[in-house]
Structure formats: structure tokens, C-alpha cells
Amino acid sequence: MKRLVSLVSLLVVFSFVLAACGPAATEAPVVPTAAVAEPTAAVVEPTAAPTEPPAPVATLKIWADDTRTPILLEFAEEFRAKYNVEVVVEDLGRVQDIRTPMITAAPAGEGPDLFIGVHDWLGALVDSGLVAPIDLGAKAEEFLPLALQAFTYTDGKLYGVPYATENLGFFYNTELVATPPTTWAEVLDISRALKAEGKIEYAFGMAGGGYENLPVLTANGGYIFGLDDNGAWNPDDVGLDSAGMIAGVKWLADAAKEGLIPVTADYETAHQLFETGKAPFLMAGPWALDRIRASGVPYAVTKFPDDGAPFLGVQGFMVNAFSENILLAQSFLTEYVATQEFMQKIYDTGLRPSAFKAVAATMTDKDLVAMGEAGVNAIPMPNIPEMGSVWSAWNNGIALAVSGEQTPEESMTDAANQVRALIKGALAGMVNLPGSYQDQVGCGAQWDPACEATAMKAGDDGKYTLTVQLKAGDYEFKVALDGAWTVNYGSDGAQDGPNYKFTMPADGSVTFTYNPETKLVEIVIQ
Amino acid sequence: MSEPISIQPPRKSMRKQRRRSIIVRWIIAIFLIFFSIFPVLWVVSASLNPTGTLATQQLIPNNPGFGNYRELLNLDQFPFWKWLWNSIKVSSITSVLSLAITTVAAYAFSRFRFRGRQTMLKGILLINVFPGVLALVATFLMVSQIGDVFTFLGLDNHASLIMVYLGGAMGVNIWLMKGFLDTIPRDIDESAMVEGASDWQIFTRLILPLLRPILIVILILNYIGTYGDFVLARVLLRSNENYTLMVGLQIFAGAQFSQRWGVFAAGALMGALPIMIIYLALQDQIVGGLTQGAVKG
Amino acid sequence: MASNKAQKIHKPGASDRGPIFSRLIQFILLVALDIGTVWFLIKLADLGYFPLAAAVLIIAIFVNVVLLRKKAYPIRWMLVGLVFMGLFTIYPIVFTVWVAFTNYGESHLITKQQAIDQILNLTYLPETGKAYSWTAFKSSGGEYALWLKDADGNGYLVKPGEPLSQPQPGEASVGALDGQGIPESIEGYQRLNGILAATDKNLMSIKFGEEGKTIQIRSPMEAAELQPLYQYDAEQDAMINQETGTVYKNLRGMFTSSAGQELRPGFVASIKWTNFRDFFISPALRGPIVRLVTWNFGFAFFSLLLNFSLGLAIAILYNDPDFPLKKLIRSLLIIPYTVPALITILIWRGMLNPDIGVVSRVLESLFGWSPPWFTDQWWAKIAILLVNLWLSYPYFMLICSGALQSIPDEIYAAAKVDGASPWQTFWKITLPLLLVAVGPLLIASFTFNFNNFNLIYLFNAGGPPMAGTPTPAGHTDILISYVYNLAFSGSRGVNYGFASAITIIIFLIVGTITLIQFRFTRMWEKVGENV
């Protein structure tokens, strides 16, 4: 009887495991034949040629979203006919859904040659080595400068071919509001009057946190990151607790206290209130046009009051750095994508303002034109990875102020400090002396600002000290804070200054004393 | 509260008591049904709502219509029936194979005493409580690597998806099954063993029929679990044609910027039908099992 | 109790009398399996997939041991399951543990070799170097020639290994020039348009021109006298910039100069215990940990209690075969389980919305007040528990309905004879016997809810926010949602290494609880065996 069991179990094992181990096992129960036999969905068959088409000389794989896929498929057919290059388009759903597969698949060699994405992914993608730069040559002239700027990373290189921009626009109910307000104060005045008449419940609903209310915050002078001398985002300058930001949040909190804004920030609430005429205003992007139109509410889109600036998001095509067809991918972009015909098609179905000058100039959809105008002064969403540290803290800060749990000053100061702490990371507060001596004291490397063995200890006098044993020789070092190079001081006590140099005449110990006020280090050799 | 099957012939007072108990239970049932159905009615409402919102204020939306259903069923881009078929295929194969693995293993755990038995049981539970943040990344890499050797077990393939699902077959359901087996008196097997039956014969002929209620329960759990999964399937499946229903519907389930919640709701409701049908079909098997007193120690 | 049953069955007898034939078949099958596995292993090793190969090898050895050793007989019953578990459950866990000790995450996604290859591919144009626009020509033998045009419009011809020449039309087999100054033809070569040329994957790596002044294609627009920008010095494990001479040493997965400049991209590197240490030393990362853990336990406990109680109550109430319409009731009550949670959670979110949600509106019209489900921490917690109850009670209803069937009627009958009230019957008989089968599932359900990220994330993303915390956190955040949030908001993008490390810490907590609860399962098992 044991024989039977072991035989049966063996057979089961065999059919299961061998199914996994040998191509010969064609009848394995786990392998549904349908799935194996079918070709990939999106493989484009060549145009109906009477004879058997020649095997394609190359294959270009594109990851796109569901709106762009059909357009690409159309062009793919033409491409195949013309150059005998097969273009495979895989539909990954929404644009946002492309990022994660890219991050997991590309390093494993499973990624596409080209993919669609949003410009603020650049921080992660470029730093991870997943996208290749693109040279548009003279064609760059044909794109909106703001869109190209968004796809340009801090190294000055272009990493994407933009096709559409998106930003919030200011919606108002044309039945309730005859002429759109030009200041935020006016927005509240109009709403107060309408509310007194019993026509509305709120001025507008907050569809979310920072992103959705940015035009209010920027109108008051708020900002997220400052710019450095080269005009690039400066992650050391966090503006969440800037006076303008606090003023903007205070405006929201006051309006909520007065009952003109619902306390709960919610996308659905904001849209419902507007679509049912219970709120005369709404800040929303082109993605919401479909539902607003379907709701039948009389509306128009215009610029933000007080020149409030929304964020600008730019969608475009990027090239996978692990692609084996980088040159082909780039050629496809410059020859096919960066053309008026293609850009027009994308514009026609995408419901987004075009990033291509010639198409943008002939846009007929008045809402999209207005959206484009509302976005003239838009701020490209910072594409540095530090932006990831901002969202939760920022949104929480606004929510806490609006709910009245904290004052805007308190909540935004907290938020800014949270962001700074996240950017600094776990080693915030560390004072270190990275240098050429570090490998002698157990750091395993030189010039390591995060090495714990050379972290200085704070004394009662406010000064920091470190004593190490070194062999005879010449050494160099610098002061670095928070376990990173971001803040570092040279021998002149200035940021990015020259290295300290010292010589050990013989093996012995050396004591460093750092004064945080002068930012200078005193070296005492015993 | 519990009302086990009465053995004695019901007396008059008991009958009265019984009627009262039924009425009370009916009231509770109505309340519970309201609780369970009400949110689903809003899903129905969303599926009929042309604006594609989820937070409507009225149960009957303005301009209700079947536009969402039409969009779902008619667009070439969304092969709804294909997705549904994929889901049913994958879930059926997975749940049956998984049930087989679970049952046989649980039988061994319940009936044999061997070294490491407790450790293995503990291990299975522990492994199942490991929060798998990166399991997805690892699974993806592994399947892609296996696929480099055997294309038919690689990415975008139902065979590999089923295999990955089967990796969860040795899960907590083993405990459920083992617990059930433990309550089946051992005398049954022992007397059969005396008569010279093999373990396999005892298992298939004597024990398996007694397990029917729990087999069905686990089958349904497996089925619903597989059917509803979109996380793994989403990572492993690539082409529209191969999507399972839940992955396909994700296209409409944008975080917040999507306008197509209505289509998602329509798909979710239609997708729920096969599960309902299966449950209705198998329901009697769950409750009708041992109580019939077919085999008793 | 049959404590040594496995051995008992194995006592010589049946098995040894077996025909040699069937044992031979077993053996042949096993050998075939092993041959297949070895072939698979070789393939995997060939492709460089060593971790997977190691896993497959271990599993294969395990399978052989189990099939060959008689003592492992009981394991054979679960071998298939174990193989799948090893490959698709344990292997990912091992991977997670490995990741916890690395800096794997955005900015550090690729392997060191991939990063080195990418950096070595970087080129620069020396000050004296020239850039051209290019047109490719291909000979029938597959050789390439480039027609280059400099900024002034001068045309040049260049072939691999040959110096740049400036032939006029008619010379050196160059045909007439077209409108843009590019020869229509070159004898022996075929002119390619940009895209056709680009279909050759190797074109970018071909070096045209004479040694030392080679020209490479760098984009569809440009070919230039490029020089490799970096050289890798394996001894120092450093990249050396050829233009400036700066040395970039490998510092935890990023080539970094002594001035702190970093060379993109970074790569995966071991950082030992740093991820764990960061969590423990940094108050900023730990956040309001006590409050988070307290709520996490509370959430998991109350979820389990409520969900199980309701599921069990329904199973018992409508278990009665004579109850009218019980099938209909059960079918209606299972509905929440059949609709994808993704949408129902959001529907609940909408229903509870204070401004437009139906629940709030109804309560408001009845009582003039409705709970602030999203802005008050306690109401938010109640809302989460309510939604979770709705989502999960059908699961317990199903399980309990099944498990109830294992309780023999005789026991109830005996209880009734003894005069036990239904209430006593429930506590003394139904519940203990039920827990035999369902107990472990309760543990699993507890741990599932302990890490129920989806619900928290979809319903209110952990809100409302806590005030005055060192890092962003919400009142309904559980550990895992807090950690995910943190891992996703690092200044370097998503940090999988950190997330894995915290996952392991969470696992240690949950695992300990599980093992403690295990003592009950022993007890349950005994209860079961005594039936």
C-alpha cells in the first residue's frame, strides 16, 4: 500500500515538476495551451501584403497607456511597411501604471525600448540609470519651452520627448457667476453672497492637499523648493514654512472656519459639489473634463485669481537605457513622434493641451485652450527625487490647519521640518570629518561622510570633538553635516571650501575640535 | 441562541419558542442583509452613472443608463469576455490543484506522526504571516528568469501565474483542513487499516467523502482568492489578451484622476456573477455534509 | 494515540514484496527528473541566474531525499506543495531578507556591473574634437561607411580604420551630391536612411576613422570624435574621469569623488545593518511609534473579534436546515465577499463622506449630526473597523459554516439530554470544537489585519494626520502603511531596502505573537484528538 502512495505521489510530483522542467512535457496539466499558443496581443501584423512579409529586421517595444496605444499601433503599421521594423505596443493601463513595471523590469532586461511617462519621474529614473538622454537637434524648436524644460534634468540633458502638458485650471459655474473673479478675496465675496441667497453650500471643495490647492498657495507667495544659482531645484531650500505658504494655508483655514470650504479634503466631494451646482468654483485638471461635461453643469475654464500658479505635469516618451535599440528608439522619436501629424493625433484623443507648438497653436477645444492659458505661469513639478519627501508632510500640514487642530504657522512649520528631516535622512545632526585618513580608523573607505567611526561628539561647550590614532603621513579632510555631502565646510569655513591638510610627523593621536559657530576645525596633534 | 437539530418530537411550547426564535432571526437577517447589500447597491448605482463617480448623492443617478456596460462590452480595446474567461480558467485550475495539494498535505499532518511535524506546521503559519513587500519584485524576477529558459513558464503566461498561485497552496488552509480531519474519529481509519487498506485507499475511499463541506469551503475560498487577485497577476501579465478580469478592470480604476469608475463598477458586478453562481451551486454541499449522518464512527 | 504511525506503516511487509518492476519505474522517473533538473540548472547558471539556480538545486536535493528515504514517507504526501512553496513563497522571503541588508531602491536599482557598463559608455567631446551630422552607407558585405557633414557644410567620408577623407563627387567612387550635400550613392555601398541605419544595434559602437581620432555615432543627429569619459580602476574600485582626472570611489553603491560628487547611476550594494540601525537611531524615522503600534494591535484585535463574531453568529443562526429561506439569506450575506474590495472600499469612502455621503446625510437629517468619519481620530478608527467588518465577515461565515459540520450531532443531542441551555452548548461545545479547525485561521487573520495595508491605504490613507510628529503619520496608520509611506518618501525615492528591513522587524513582532498563540493551537489539537 505504501508503494501505491509513493508511486502516486511520485507521479504527481513528476507531472508538476517536470512540467516546469522539460519542454517535452507538453501535456502537463498546469499549462493551458491557449495561453501558450497565442501571440502577444499588441503585435502588429504588417499591412495586408499579398505575399509573406519578410522577417522584421528589428523590433521596437513601446509601453504606453490605453489612450496612446491605438495611435501608436496605427503608426506602427506604417513603420513596419516602410522600414520592416516591427513595433510592439503594450498597453499598461494608465500613465501612472508604467512607472513601477519600468523600475522592476528594466534592470532585468524585460523593459521596453520606449515608454510613456511623466516628467517628474526623472529624478528616480535618471539617478537609477534607467533612461537614456535624447538629442532632438533642431526639432527642439518645435516644442513648448516649458515642456522641454520639464524633461530636462539637473545635468542639463533632455530625457523625454513631450507630447502633452497638464495643469489645473480654474472652473466656475457660468450660471452662478457671470464674470470670473480676479482675486481670491473676490472668490470668497461672491460665494458669501451666493450662500446668503441659499444657492450654494460652499465656495469650492478642496480636492486634495498641496497639489490641488497650489494656485491659492502660490498666489500668496508660497513655494516648495527654491532655485539654486543655476536655476535648478534646490532641495536645501524647503519653502513649506515660508511666509507665503503659511499665508496661503491660513486663507484656506479661514475659509473653512467660515464654512465656505468643507473641512474634509476629498476629490469626489470637490467635484460633486461643483457638478451639482452646490459650489460655484473648482480647481481641476483636464482629466476631469469628461466627467464635468457629462454632469451637464454650465461651466467655463479660466486663469486663476491673483495669478495663482498650478503645477505643470508633462507627459512624454522616454528611452530605456537598457534598450538594445537606443539609436532606433531615438530615430523613431525624432522621425515619427516629433511630427505634427503624430502630435495632432495624440492631441485629438488625449484631452490634454499639446506640447507641440504647431498643434498647440491650432487647438480648437476652448477648455483646453483655457487650460493652457491657466498654465502659462505653471511651475513644472519638481523632478528631483527629494520631491517624494514633500507630499505627505505638505498635505498633512494643510489638513491639520484646515481642521483647526493646529494654527497654520504650527502645522506648516512642522511640515517643513518633517520634510527637512526626511531629506536629511537618518543621520540628521551628525557632524563628520570625511577625509583620507578614514580607512585607518575603521571606516572601510575614505571620504565617507556617513562613517560612524569618525562622527564627532558634542561637548558641553557646544563644540564637537573627535580623537583618532593615525600613522605618520599627510592627510586631508573636510567637515560634513548630517552624514551627507550636501552641507560641507572647507578649511575657510565656507560651503564647498578647500580641504583641510595636516601632517602626522609620527604615529600618534590627533584631536579635532569643530566649532559650529565659526564652522572651523582646530587640529591638535599629540 | 444556537438551535441544533432537535431529536425529541417537538412539544407545543417548544414549537412556540421555535417560531419566536425564527422571527427574531428573520429580523436579524433583514438587518444584516441591509448592511451587506446597501453598499453594493451603490456599486450598481455607480455602474449606471454616466459621470463615472463613486460618491454619488442619490442612489438613482441623473441620466442613468447602460453606457458603462456598453463601453465595457463593445470596445475592441477591452476584450471583457476574454478577460472573464481567463479569470475563470486560471481560478478553476488553481483552486482545484491547490485544493488537492492542501488536502493531501493536511491528511498527512493529521494522520501521521513524524519528526518535525509541529515545526512544519508552525513554519507554514509563520511563512504565511511574513509581510511580502518585496515578494512581488522577487516573483517577477524569478518568473522572468525561468521564462528565459522555458518561454511557456515566463512572463505574460497563465501557466506561470498558476504556478505562482500554487506556491500559496501550503497556506493556512492546511490548518483548516487538518483541524477538520482531526475531528474525524480515528477509529474509522484504524478499523480499515486492520482490514488491510492502504493509506491512500483510506484517504480516498473513507476520509475524502467525509471532508466534503470543508473541501467546498476551501475550494470557494481558493476560487475567490485567485479570482480577486490583481496584484500578482498585474505584475506577471503583460498583454491585454492575457489579462485576468481584475487586472483588466484596473485600467478603469484610476487612483483618483480616472473618469471611468462606472465602467469598473459594471465590470466588477458582472465579474461577481460567476462567484455568486458557484456559491449558489455549491452552497448545499457545505451545509448538507456530515449532518446527514452518512458515516459515523 | 498512534504516535508512531508512520513507522508502523513502514514496518517491512507490503513494501518489500513489491515487484521490482514498479520500483524500477520509480527509480527511472526520479533519474529522469534529476536529469531534467540538472539541465535546467546548467541553463540557469549559463544565464547567470545564480540565486535562482541555488534555490532550484536545494529544492531538487530535498525532493530526492524525500523520495529516497523511507523515513520521509509522510513528507511525500505534501511534496508537490512544498516544492511550490519553496519556489514561490520562501524564495521571495529570502530575497526580502537579502534586500534588507542592501540599499536596493530608486537610485540603486541596477547591479554594479550594469552601472559600470553604463558609466564606461559615457563619452565626451574633447575641446579639439569635432562633431558632424551623419549619413550611413552599407556595403553588401555589411561594412559601414559614414558621410559626415560638419557645421560649415563640408562633407567627409570615413570608414572604420581608415582616416577621414574629403572626396569630391566623382572621386573615390562617390556619386553626385543631393540637395543637402550628401552623395546619392557610393559605389559598393547602399545609402541608408536614418531609421534603417538605426536598426543595426551595433552601429553606435563602431569606431570610424583612424586610431586615436575615431568618430562614433552618438545620436540620430550627431557623430563626433568622442572619447570615453571614464575608466574603471578595479584595484581602487573607482572610476577615473579622463577629462578632469577626478577619482570617484565606490561608496556604498555610488561612485563618489572626495569632494562628494556622485556619479550616476548608483547600484545595489550591501550596507549591512544600516537599514535596521537607521530605524532605531533616528527619532525622525521611528516617528510616533508607540501610538502606531498601539493602534495596530487594537485594529488587528478588534477587527478579528468583530469579523469572527459576526461571521460565526451568522453561520450558527442560519445553520438550521429547517430555517425558511436560509439559502437566500446566506447567498445575500455572502455578496460583500464577491465584489472586489478595491471598489467597495471606495464606495464606503463615498458613503461616509461628511458632505455628500449618504450615511452622513441620513444621520444628519435624523439627528442633526453625523460623525466626522475622516477628521476625528476615533470616528476614523470606528469607520475603518466598520468597513473591515463588512469586507471580512463573509469569510468567517463561510469558514464557520464549513467547520460547524465537523461537530457530530450526537454531542448536541447529549448536551440537550444533559439539559444544557443553547447558550451553554455554544460556549462549552460549539466554540471549542470549532476552534480546533478555525483557531489557526484566526491567528492568520489577526496577522493579515495587522498588515492590512490595502484597506488603510484605500479608505483614508492613514488619516487624519497626527499633529506635531517628527515624520508624517496618521491616526489610523498601521505600522506597515506608515513604513511604506516612509520608504516612499525618502529623499532618494523609493527605498526598498529600508522597507524590507522594517518588514523583517514587523515579522519578528508578528511571528512572536503567532508563536505565543501557538500554544492554544496545541490545546485545540488535543481537544480535537479527544473527540
pLDDT one-digit tens code per residue, B69-105: 888 888 777 789 999 999 999 999 999 999 999 999 9
> Least CB-CB distance to B220: which of C347, C398, C531?
C398
| Closest partner CB to B239 (pick from A41, A105, A287) | A41
Cα–Cα dist A42/A89, whole Å:
6
C214 with C300, same domain?
Answer: no
Average pLDDT of the residues in A143-148: 92
Same domain, C431 and C285: yes
Residues A278 and A353 in one domain: no
Residue that finishes a domain, picked among C66, C100, C134: C100
Q: What pLDDT digit, counting tens, does each position of A365-397 carry?
A: 899 999 989 999 999 999 888 898 899 899 999
Residue C309 — very low, low, confident or very high, per pLDDT cuts 50/70/90? very high
C299 and C433: one domain? yes
Q: What's the pLDDT at C199?
A: 83
Among A432-441, B58-67, C362-371, which stretch is predicted with the lowest mean pLDDT? B58-67
Q: Is the pLDDT of residue C367 over 80?
A: yes
Q: Same structural domain for residues C70 and C130?
A: no
Contacts of C169 by beta carbon, 8 Å cutoff, 6+ apart: C175, C176, C177, C183
pLDDT of residue B258: 53
What does the pLDDT read at residue A282? 95
Min distance C425 CA to chain B CA atoms (Å): 8
| Strand C255-257 with C262-263, pairing | antiparallel
Residues of B with CB below 8 A from A40's CB? 156, 238-239, 241
Whole-number pLDDT of residue A30:
32
Percentage of residues in chain A having pLDDT higher than 90: 50
In Å, how far is B96's CA from the nearest CA of chain C?
A: 13
C403-423: burial string, b at 16+ Cβ within 10 Å, e else: bbbbbbeebbeebbeeebebe
Using an 8 Å Cβ cutoff, are C76 and C67 in contact?
yes
B258 touches chain A (CB under 8 A): yes
pTM given for the model: 0.82
Residues of C in contact with A86 (CB under 8 A): none
* Chain B residues in contact with C9 (beta carbon < 8 A): 199
Let me know if residue C496 belongs to a domain.
yes
Q: Tell whether C135 and C29 lie within a shared domain.
A: no
pLDDT tens-digit readout, A212-269: 999 999 999 999 999 988 888 888 899 999 999 999 999 999 999 999 999 988 888 8
How close B62 gets to chain A, by Cα (Å)? 8
Query: Does C507 touch chain B if contact means CB atoms closer than 8 Å?
Result: yes
Task: Judge whether B60 is closer than 8 Å to chain C, CB to CB.
Answer: no
**Are both C133 and C82 inside the same structural domain?**
no
Counting the structural domains of chain C, the total is: 3
| Domain membership flag for residue A90 | yes
Classify domain B79-291 by CATH architecture. Orthogonal Bundle (1.10)
Q: C58 and C147, same structural domain?
A: no
Query: Looking at the domain assignment, is residue C239 inside a domain?
Result: no
C53 interaction partners in chain B (CB closer than 8 Å) = none
**C464 lies in the same domain as C519:** yes
User: Residue A369: its pLDDT value, please?
Assistant: 92
Chain A contact present for B238, CB below 8 A: yes
Cβ atoms of residues B61 and B50 within 8 Å: yes
Residues of C in Cβ contact (< 8 Å) with B11: none
Block residue for cell numbers 476552534: C435
**Residue C517 belongs to a domain:** yes
The shortest CB-CB distance from C436 to any of B101, B182, B279 is to B182
User: B97 CB near a chain A CB, below 8 Å?
Assistant: yes
Considering the domain architecture, whether residues A281 and A196 belong to the same structural domain is answered as yes
What is the average pLDDT across B16-39? Answer: 88
Residues in contact with A179: Cβ distance below 8 Å, sequence separation at least 6, in sequence order: none
Which range of residues forms the domain containing residue C173? 123-228
The model's confidence at residue B287, banded by pLDDT at 50, 70 and 90, is: low
Q: How confident is the model at residue C304 (pLDDT cuts 50, 70, 90)?
A: very high
- Judging contacts by C-beta atoms under 8 Å, the chain C residues touching residue B217 are 398-399, 401-403
A335 and A439 together in one domain: no
Q: Which candidate, C23, B172, B66, C164, places its Cα nearest to that of A10?
A: C23
Instruction: Say yes or no: A320 and A283 in one domain.
Output: no
Residue A239 lies in a domain: yes
Q: What is the DSSP letter of A351?
A: -
Scanning every residue of chain A, which has its alpha carbon at the shortest distance from the alpha carbon of B241? A41
Interface check for B186 against chain C (CB to CB < 8 A): the answer is: yes
C377-393 average pLDDT score:
94
Among B137, B214, B284, beta carbon nearest to C403: B214
Beta carbons within 8 Å of C67's beta carbon, 6+ residues apart: A6, A10, A13, C26, C30, C76, C79
* In the predicted structure, residue B6 carries a pLDDT above the cut 80: no
Judge whether A367 lies within some domain.
yes
B neighbours by CB contacts (3+ pairs under 8 Å): A, C
Residues A60 and A87: beta-carbon distance below 8 Å = yes
Nearest CA distance, A388 vs chain B (angstrom): 17
C23, C199, C355: residue with CB nearest A85: C199
Question: Looking at residue A65, which CATH number applies to its domain?
Answer: 3.40.190.10
**Same-domain status, A341 and A449:** no
CA distances from B221 to A218, B172, C333, C451 (A): 52, 11, 15, 20
Residues A7, A123 within the same domain: yes
Among B143-152, C7-16, C414-423, the range with the most confident prediction by mean pLDDT is: B143-152
- Based on the domain organization, do A250 and A319 belong to the same domain? no
Predicted pLDDT at B294: 37
Tell me where in chain B the CATH 1.10.3720.10 domain(s) lie. Answer: 79-291
C residues 216-245 closer than 8 Å to A (CB): 217-222
The pairing of strands A479-481 and A311-320 is: unpaired
Contact B198 A2 (CB under 8 A): yes
| Separation of alpha carbons C505 and C508, rounded Å | 5
| Amino acid making up residue C479 | L
Structural domain contains residue C484: yes
Which A positions 273-292 lie with beta carbon below 8 A of chain C? 273
Contact C194 A393 (CB under 8 A): no
C175 falls in which pLDDT band (50, 70, 90)?
Answer: confident
C-alpha cell of residue A29? 496539466
Question: Does pLDDT of C277 surpass 60?
Answer: yes
Q: Per-residue pLDDT averaged across A59-74, rounded?
A: 88
C331-364 per-position pLDDT tens digit: 889 889 888 887 888 888 888 888 888 888 889 8
Q: Judge whether A276 lies within some domain.
A: yes
What is the ipTM for the molecules in this complex? 0.84
Residue A13 pLDDT exceeds 60: no
Nearest CA in chain B to A42: B239
The three-class DSSP label of residue A520 is strand
Residue C391: CATH number of its domain? 1.10.3720.10
C95 lies in the same domain as C20: yes
CATH number for the domain that contains residue C88: 1.20.58
Residue A37 confidence (pLDDT): 34
In a domain, C341, yes or no: no
In a domain, A38, yes or no: no
- Judge whether C33 lies within some domain: yes
A323, A124 contact by CB (below 8 A): no
Cross-chain CB nearest to A17 (options C33, C77, C256):
C33
Interface of B with C in 5-34 (CB under 8 A): 5-8, 22, 25, 28-29, 32-33
Mark which residues 113-142 of B lie under 8 Å from C by CB.
113-114, 117, 122, 124-139, 141-142
User: What pLDDT does residue B76 have?
Assistant: 73
Q: How many domains does chain A have?
A: 3
Residue in A1, A34, A271 closest to B199 by CB: A1
Closest CA to A264 of B257, C350, C368, C288: C350
Task: Read off the CATH number of the domain in which C199 is found.
Answer: 2.40.430.10
**b/e string for C431-455 if b means 16 or more Cβ within 10 A?**
ebbbbbbbbbbbbbbbbbbbbbbeb
Domain boundary pick from C200, C228, C256? C228
Are A206 and A281 in the same domain? yes
| A426 closest CB neighbour out of C220, C278, C485 | C278
In this structure, the answer to whether residues C72 and C153 fall within a common structural domain is no
**Structural contact between residues B276 and B283, judged by C-beta atoms closer than 8 angstroms:** no
The answer to whether B262 faces chain C, any CB pair under 8 Å, is no
Same domain, yes or no: C399 and C296: yes
> Does A36 reside within a domain?
no
Assess if residue A401 is contained within a domain: no
So what's the pLDDT on residue A173? 95
Distance CA B149, CA B56 (A): 51
The answer, yes or no, to whether residue B56 has pLDDT greater than 80, is no
Cα–Cα dist B68/B266, whole Å: 6
Domain ranges, residue A432: 427-526
Indicate if A231 and A299 belong to the same structural domain.
yes
Average pLDDT value for residue range A51-71? 81
Residues A162 and A173 in one domain: no
Q: Is C319 on the interface with B (CB under 8 A)?
A: yes
Closest residue in chain C to residue A498, using alpha carbons only: C259
What integer pLDDT is reported at residue B91 of this predicted model?
94
Question: Searching chain C, which residue's CA lies closest to the CA of residue A446?
Answer: C258
What would the mean pLDDT of C503-518 be, rounded to a whole number? 84
Say if residue C398 is in the same domain as residue C513.
yes
> Positive or negative, the Cα torsion across C154, C160, C163, C169?
negative
Average pLDDT over residues B43-67: 77
Q: What angle do CA C246, C251, C253 make, to 5 degrees?
A: 115
Shared domain check, A114 and A88: yes
Task: Look at residue C357 and tell me if it is in a domain.
Answer: no
Q: Which of B167, B264, B286 sits opposite C85 (nearest CB)?
A: B167
